A and B are shown apart, each in its own frame.
Chain A
Amino acid sequence: MKKTLLSILLGFCISIGKLSAQDILPKDSSEWINFLQIQNQIPGLGYQLVFPPSLDSLEVQTLKLDLTKSDSGWVSGIREDFSLLAQVESDRVNFKLLYFIFSSQNSEEAVREYISNLMRNGDFDPVTQKVKPKEDLVALAVKSPYAPVFGNRYTFTADLKLFVVTLIIGFFFITALLMIISMLILKARKNRREILKKEYEEMIVDPLTNLLFEKELEELSKMKKADYDPFFPLNYLSKPLYQDVLIHSIIGLNKKMKGEFKEKLKAIYHQLGLDKVSAAKIRKSKWHIVSEGLVEINEMDLVECLQDVKKLSDSSNFHVRSLAVSALLNLSEKSDLSFLRDQTYPLSDWQQMNYLRIIKFVSAQKQLKIEMLFDSKNKSIRIFGIKLVRILGRVDLLERLASIASQASTEEKIEILKAYQEIGAHMEVDFINQCLQEEDLELVEQAIETAKSLGDENSVILLSELFQNTDDFSTQLLILKSIYELDKGKFDEMTLNKEDSSRLKIRNHVLDPKLVYV
């Protein structure tokens, strides 16, 4: 890079120098004469040769220049052919030149000026070459030492370029080739797997159907692995893909079956040793295999893996963590939620959704200690606990909620308000009114919403105060909706007989039955 920069600079200087015509003309007098000689003729330029008077007539004769004698010495006629000078020079006689530009005499300085003018205008192109060297060119070349002058810079960078290009092409082709080959292999493997999977799936259907209908649950759980050989051949059973297909089929069926069939499927799963396969999966290091194992444990109720699952419930991998907690919720006997309480990672909505589904299912059979979650150090868990009160309709926990409400954070308060609203906790109206006076807009909006169904006379007063103090249109709409539900007279008073067109607009909106679901 440095080199390139340097050559840019250098090249720039040189080219600027070369561009000026004045500098093409040599300064040195003998070179100047040489320059003129090479040119032969320069348009409009003539010259006279002046020899010193000391020249004798014999010498004048040998010059053959038709010299005439004058005051300053021997003078020739005006000539234009500068090649004559070579002859004169070779005779080694001193002489001077008088210059004529278009027949009027001028100084050497003026001639230089004149020539450079001609060159600039393009009227004259000086011959720069020396006259052919008299010696042999090859002999000369041999004598001069090798010095790469200007071509070398090109060959050098050109080589580097060649190198870079080859490098890129090489890199490119190798990666491209590798990628395409691996893709093709992957595709072929996948295709083969697909075909095999289909084959196995069809193989499994009949024996599984037979087992489920022809055998009783007790028979199935007494059968040894070897007894299953006629149904699921043992040599196939050792193949991972076959195992996979079998596990998937049994789990898929288990999801869609009810009653004794579920138990039968579980018995088959155990007797075939597939529970061991699932248990081994959750000890693997790859998260997606662990996750698969967790799903299987959860679906097939493999209670014996509970200890291992517990260890995974605080895993740093999101999927492993949430699946482990799901499995725990489903399997643990005591319906103890302490492991959930002690979670350090924040709960995402996705996890909450999955846990909720299981908790809903489990809480039908046993009373869960949801209040445990209120003591969690993890805010998102506490919020989830409050949500559960609302969604499961746990009226018995309202008192607990009321006790934590005053110290709760804004988000928790919002959740508590939602729970009150859904369950219909009329006794907590003071808390709602208190929230109406808070700073946080989101909390206030939820309080307005909750007041709609649970508010009292105080709420109406607070709401109308709030209405005076807000410019926000959507908040105003919300407030008036609540006031309409609580006190129709107040609503009319606030929206009718007013010049304010926006209040009338809101009034019509609130009264439009079509907009109830909006």
Chain B
Amino acid sequence: MKKILIIEDDLLISSLVQFRLKKDGYETHLVKDGNEGIKAIDTLNPDLIITDVMMPFRSGIEIIHHAKKSQPHTPIIVLSSLGEEEQVVLEAFNLGVADFVPKPFNPNELAIRVKRALS
């Protein structure tokens, strides 16, 4: 079973995503902020990371940096309410994230993108 780490501070959004991905048979782990996120990346060794770029304590950029350093082959999907032309998002792309899903989003669509990133 593939492990997916979800870093997202909005409780409802994260549980929706989790619910949807569980249906597809993934093992999902939920953390609420950047600090926990970084810890989880190291201990959990996930197969895929879904993260926001703006959240408490650590910026998404920091998390992507960290993930790329410790597990360079884990794909990362950025889920964000910022537009694609925003500076931070561009920076995230430069760091080599697999995909970008802007909010508002459709969980079903996200599930498809997850599948694609993992294959």
Q: Which residues of A are at the interface with B, using a C-beta cutoff of 8 A?
A: 201-202, 204-206, 208-210, 212-213, 249, 252-253, 255-262
Contacts and interface: CB of A to CB of B under 8 A. Distances in A.
Nearest to B16: A209
Given A213-B20, A213-B23, A249 B12 contact: yes
B104 interface: yes
A212 B16 contact: yes
Contact of B106 (A206, A209, A249, A258): A258
Given A209-B16, A209-B19, A213-B23, A255 B11 contact: no
B11 A201 contact: yes
B19 A213 contact: yes
A259 B111 CA distance: 15
Contacts of A212: 16
B51 to A, nearest CB: 15
B105 A206 contact: no
A255 B16 CA distance: 14
**In this complex, which of B13, B19, B23, B105 has the most chain A Cβ atoms within 10 angstroms of its Cβ?**
B19
Contacts of A213: 16, 19-20, 23, 107
Interface in B41-96: 81
A205 B12 contact: yes
Given A213-B20, A213-B23, A261 B15 contact: no
A397 to B, nearest CB: 27
Nearest to A253: B12
A206 to B, nearest CB: 7
A54 B86 CA distance: 133
10 shortest A-B CB distances, which residue pairs?
Answer: A258-B106, A258-B104, A256-B103, A259-B106, A209-B19, A205-B15, A256-B104, A209-B15, A253-B12, A209-B16
B106 A256 contact: no
27 contacts: A204-B12, A205-B11, A205-B15, A206-B15, A208-B12, A209-B12, A209-B15, A209-B19, A210-B19, A213-B19, A213-B20, A213-B107, A249-B12, A252-B10, A253-B12, A253-B16, A255-B103, A255-B104, A256-B13, A256-B104, A257-B105, A257-B106, A259-B106, A259-B109, A260-B106, A261-B106, A261-B107
B23 A252 contact: no
Contacts of B20: 213
Contact of B12 (A210, A252, A258): A252
Given A256-B104, A258-B106, A202 B19 contact: no
